[in-house]
Every structure is written in structure tokens, then in C-alpha cells.
Amino acid sequence: MRDQNEVDEEGDELYEHYNFKAGNGQEPLRVDKFLMNFIENATRNKIQQAAKNGNVWVNGTPVKSNYKVKANDEVKVLFEHPPHEYLLTPENIPLDIVYEDDVLLVVNKPAGMVVHPGHGNYSGTLINALIYHFENLPKNSNERPGLVHRIDKDTSGLLVIAKTEEAMTHLAKQFFNKTSEREYIAIVWGSLKEEEGTIEGHIGRHPKNRLQMTVFEDGEQGKEAVTHYKTIENLGYVSLISCKLETGRTHQIRVHMKHIGHTLFNDERYGGEKILKGTTFSKYRQFVDNCFKVLPRQALHAKTLGFEHPVTGQFMRFDSEIPGDMQECIEKWRHYTKHQTS
């Protein structure tokens, strides 16, 4: 059974430990040997294992340990644990607190804020803000104060934070046992054939691109993932949809929607920043580019969150407004669709 002290909302992180650029005079040298020259206390085996897992990158592409580093190559190493210098520093960052009592709080995270340090983001995170505003938050199994579940950096929306050990355990069990409620609102490319349905497909890290996740239909790899979706509004070449999570996996909605051919609008990591539906007219391309500028992130918002209060036993449900950037994009598509059909 998985650890119940933390829900796998965003999965197994990769932490950027080192980023180097080879000098102009760099002679061809195996990347594992190159890195041993730079990384203190690193073993060759550790570096080779990172390369085997697809976590050594040169010029943006994962390489094997026998890759020969050349002049001006950019080399990056990711490991699945925090670097030694990983420290949590309190930062006076404002929080949008929707609800708070003695044992928990619900916050509305803005798009662009990382939930916890990692991937080179070691400051400005929600955790940095939480430990500034609240003392003695309980830590989960990954030493993250107060964190019960997570959402992506560029996803906005609601998160519940535990303020006591008892609340942490109680809330984590609800997410683990699928008794919590989570509804997301998304804009996706295309019109869904079925107005509502369920996507089931194990999700795991992509074997070739370790910064992406993918669906393994045979179920032999990855972790079980279930997403229930429903079309709210057909906007022509895109659709506004609701997604309810039965499980919480890394990039779950983003991966599942791409899997059925409806990538999230402007989701750069999964190809949604390209025009996937529509015409070839230059005016249409300009319109989509304007939408991208209005909404410079994946179109995903954690709108509703429900759970049983750890102390009172009362079921609590919180709802949040669709943020301005996403709402403006929706209005643009409504206007465009109306004029196309009129």
C-alpha cells in the first residue's frame, strides 16, 4: 500500500541539481566522466544510473552515459531527491486564504506559483510562504510542511493545508481512499464526441522524455488513474470541460486529455501551444496567438474542493472563481464562435 501521508497529486518530482556549460576548448569526453569532474562526492555509478533513467540531459535531450560532451554543450542533471543544499526558507509571500481554522486552511493558489521547491525552483513557492505565515506545520513523508496534495505550477486553484499531525493523517486518508472531491475546469482543443465519459489508463513517466508523463494502457507500468470529464460548453475549435479526479497522478488531466486527442489549450509541455484544431487562415492563427498571450499557461483551474473536516466530521465544499486570464480566453472563444456561426 502507498504511503498515506501524502497524496500523489503531482507525482515523483525530479530535482535539478546541476547545470553546466562546457567551455569553448572542451575536448570530447564521456558525459559521466565530465560530470564527475564537476560534481563533488558524486559516484560514477550514481551518474550512470541517472543517465539510464533519462535524467542526464545535453542541449535539452536525454543522453546515455557514453555520450561525448563537446564544446559549448549544456549539460543538466536531475535526481529524484532534493539536493543537499535544499533548505526551506520562510518568505513573506501573500496567501489567498479561502478558509482557516485551528487544524487546516484552504488556499487559492495563483498560476505561476510552484507548490514546493524542486526543478530549480527553490524560492517563491507555496511552502516558502506557508512556513513564514504558520509555525510548526506538520511534515508529510517527504518533509513538506502542511502539504496534503499538490497541483502544477501553472495550474491555479484550491489546496487544503494541514496544520496538525492529526489533520494531515485524516485528510491524506480521504484523498487516498477517494472520498475527497476535486473538480477542475479546463479548456481543451477540439469538440469531444461524447459529452461526458471516463478515462482510465495507468500514468507513468514517459520513457523517452522524463519531464513528461504518459498513459500505459496495458496497466503493466505506471499507476492507476481515473478521470471523469464532462463538456460544459462547445466553443468551436476548443471546448470548456469539467474534470473530476478519482485518483491524483502527475499531470493526470493533462495526460489523460491528450491521450483521447484533446490536449489542454496552451499546454506547452504536451504540445497544446500549437494550433491543433481549426483553419489555416492567417486571421485565425492571429486570433489563437492572441488567446495564447491572454492565457500564457495551460488552461487548467482546480475549481472545487471537498473533504470531511478532520475534527467535526462535517463535509466541507469550497468553490473558487475561474481566474481572469482563463475567463478572458473563454470570452474570446465565445465571441469568435458566435461570429463564425452568425
Q: Which amino acids are annotated catalytic?
A: 152
Cβ within 8 Å of residue 67, ≥6 positions away: 30, 31, 51, 56, 58
Take residue 138 and report the three cell numbers written for it. Answer: 506538520
298 vs 14: CA distance, rounded Å = 20
Which one, of 134, 238, 133, 242, lies nearest residue 185 by Cα? 242
Q: What separation in angstroms does the CA of 324 have from each of 183, 264, 293?
A: 18, 17, 13
Maximum CA extent, the chain:
68
44 vs 65: CA distance, rounded Å = 9
Cβ within 8 Å of residue 44, ≥6 positions away: 32, 33, 36
251: helix, coil or strand?
Answer: coil
Whose grid coordinates read 472531491?
Answer: 181
Which one, of 326, 262, 270, lies nearest residue 300 by Cα? 326
- Check: CB of residue 175 under 8 Å from CB of residue 248: yes
25 vs 22: CA distance, rounded Å = 8
φ, ψ of residue 29 to 5 degrees: the values are -150, 135
Burial of 275 (0-12, 13-18, 19+ CB in 10 A): middle
CA angle 179, 200, 203 (to 5 degrees): 90
- R_g of the chain, CA atoms, integer Å: 22
285 vs 287: CA distance, rounded Å = 5
35 vs 272: CA distance, rounded Å = 34
